Amino acid sequence: MQYDVVVIGSGPGGYVAAIRCAQLGLKTAVVEKYSTFGGTCLNVGCIPSKALLDSSEHFHNAAHTFQTHGINLKDLSVDLPQMIKRKNEVVAQTTGGITFLFKKNKITSYQGMGSFVDKNTIKISNEGKEETITAKNVIIATGSKPTALPFLPIDKKRIITSTEALNLPEVPKHLIVIGGGVIGLELGSVYARLGAKVTVIEFLDSIIATMDKALGRELQKTLTKIGFEFLLSHKVTGATVKGKKVSVSAETPKGETITVEGDYCIVAVGRSAYTDSLGLKNIGLKVEDRGKKITVDEHLQTSVPGVYAIGDVVRGAMLAHKAEDEGVFVAETIAGQKPHINYNLIPGVVYTWPEVASVGFTEEQLKADGKKYKTGSFPFKASGRARASMDTDGFVKVLADAETDEILGVHMIGPRAADMIMEAVTAMEFRASAEDIGRICHPHPTYTESLKEAALAATENRPIHI
């Protein structure tokens, strides 16, 4: 069968690319090795983790804040199997939605492992059966998988990845998390809210290290309140399992060896591009990053004409929404349009509580670049809306150019930061100044007033409510 475009992989990048190609009149097919669409994000990543985060947040509030609100409960308990059942239902509904969209847009789907025979021919292998299809253009969207540590074997029972952490049979008494990044902190939050002690062992000297340092410091303080312990600047050297216990050894900043014992250990040290079994050598494709990441040009085309790559398999942040934008970008490029992506304005979010969100340059980056800037911040404890909802941890920080007042970066930790960051993204997309945000009328009382106040602080150091 001949297609205009074949997409290998149906995660956020792949399925969005396929839908946009079909919308543009291109005959499109998708090759997916699993039985459901949606890739890591919909099946074992973004969507199921948010379902568990929401469930655990409800329990945590019932246990710790409802009484203050005048709501009294008796015999509060966690039904973990029901939480996981609800999570699975959310996943099924979401992946089923992709099936519907493929049918609606007349996209042909193939189940199996897709690999290159040549640049226009894709072999699909599934349980011993093989077939081939041809395409004028191919989009590689195979995503990523959890990074393993060579000295720390994952048994998927006690030493686990984020995938297994979504289906634990019990709430751990003590959960060890290796890695202080987004994945580890989100999954650690789920179980800390349900009563687990959580110990995070991080090699670097801060958590969420790629974000503005002030965010990491504030998040560490708030997570400590719900049962987190942080061992920063610690190098994990090994782990052993004995019965129902995991012992993790680590080297302290002083070179001493310590052992942390728990009943489960999540290895969350990042993700690696998944390009295995694609047959890239058959088309002479250039790769980087120890042979994993695929090299692309400014149009996301590989070194082989007509072969494109998007999402986690190429350079840049491993984010579902970045992959989606790249999927649309490539589809429109193939159709002869001239799309655009501003990579500096792709927001990052951590779905802990309080939520963390960031866009643009961090303060550390501006200092390193020698950029003259001004800063303004506003704490949520001064927000009437935050006081009403008992969500007073955190702040909003606005960074603006010292001369032009153009917003260079916005960093926030607080209630609904994941949604609030989009006001900053929109403003920065139109190159707004901090004064522009400060002069926009924000509804009262809302969390977004904190962004206005931070912008006023950056503009003339004139916030109203502090």
In-domain check, residue 348: no
pLDDT at 308: 98
What span, in angstroms and rounded, lies between the C-alpha atoms of 321 and 327?
A: 10
Q: Quick check: is 466 in a domain?
A: no
Task: Show which of 343, 377, 406 is a domain's final residue.
Answer: 343
Q: Do both 263 and 290 map to the same domain?
A: no
Same domain, 335 and 305: yes
Instruction: Examine residue 312 and state whether it is found in any structural domain, yes or no.
Output: yes
- Give pLDDT, residue 287: 81
Query: Residues 176, 260: contact at Cβ < 8 Å?
Result: yes
Residues 6+ apart with CB under 8 A from 444: 384, 385
Strand, helix or coil at 20? helix
Residue 349 lies in a domain: no
Residue type, 461: N
Same domain, 14 and 123: yes
Instruction: Report helix, strand or coil for 57.
Output: helix
Active-site residue identified among 340, 411, 444, 465: 444
Interatomic CA distance for residues 400 and 377, integer angstroms? 11
**Is there a binding annotation on residue 238?**
no
Q: Are residues 12 and 134 in the same domain?
A: yes
How many whole angstroms separate alpha carbon 208 and alpha carbon 211? Answer: 6
State which residues form the domain around 428.
354-460
Residue 289's pLDDT is what? Answer: 63
Could you tell me the two tokens for 238? 């090994």
Q: Which two tokens stand for residue 109?
A: 């789907």
User: What single-letter DSSP state applies at residue 147?
Assistant: P
Which of 251, 269, 287 finishes a domain?
A: 269
Which of 253, 269, 285 terminates a domain? The answer is 269
184 is in an annotated binding site: yes
Query: Based on the domain organization, do 423 and 299 belong to the same domain?
Result: no
What distance in Å separates the CA atoms of residue 454 and residue 433, rounded to the nearest whole number? Answer: 12
Cα-Cα end-to-end distance for the chain:
66
Q: Provide block-wise average pLDDT over 10 residues at a time, the chain (466 residues).
A: 97 98 98 97 97 98 97 96 98 97 98 98 96 98 94 95 97 98 98 98 97 98 98 97 97 97 97 94 84 91 97 97 98 98 98 98 98 98 98 98 98 98 98 98 98 96 90
58 is known as an active-site residue:
no
Based on the fold, state whether residues 397 and 455 are members of the same structural domain.
yes
452: nearest Cα among 466, 435, 430, 432? 435
The tally of domains found in the chain comes to 3
The enclosing domain of 394 has a CATH number of: 3.30.390.30
- Do 242 and 277 belong together in one domain? no
Domain-located, residue 307: yes
What pLDDT is recorded for position 291?
Answer: 60
- Please indicate, yes or no, whether residues 364 and 447 belong to a single structural domain of this protein: yes
* Token reading at 422: 């989009």
Residue 154 lies in a domain: no
The DSSP secondary-structure symbol of 148 reads P
Residue 47 annotated as binding site: no
User: Do 371 and 302 share a structural domain?
Assistant: no
Q: What is the CATH number of the domain that holds 165?
A: 3.50.50.60
pLDDT at 333: 98
Q: Are the CB atoms for 308 and 300 separated by under 8 Å?
A: yes
State how far the Cα of 147 lies from the Cα of 182, in Å rounded to an integer.
14
User: Could you tell me the two tokens for 433?
Assistant: 């100044």
By DSSP bridging, strand 129-140 and strand 307-309 are parallel
- Do residues 410 and 420 make contact, with C-beta atoms less than 8 angstroms apart? no
Shared domain for 232 and 106, answered yes or no, is no
Q: Do 244 and 224 have their domain in common?
A: yes
Residue 257 within any structural domain of the chain: yes
Query: Does residue 151 lie in a domain region?
Result: no
Residue 323's contacts (CB-CB under 8 Å, 6 or more residues apart) are 11, 12, 13, 14, 16, 141, 143, 310, 311, 312
Determine if residue 255 is labeled as part of a ligand binding site.
Answer: no
> 135 and 27, same structural domain?
yes
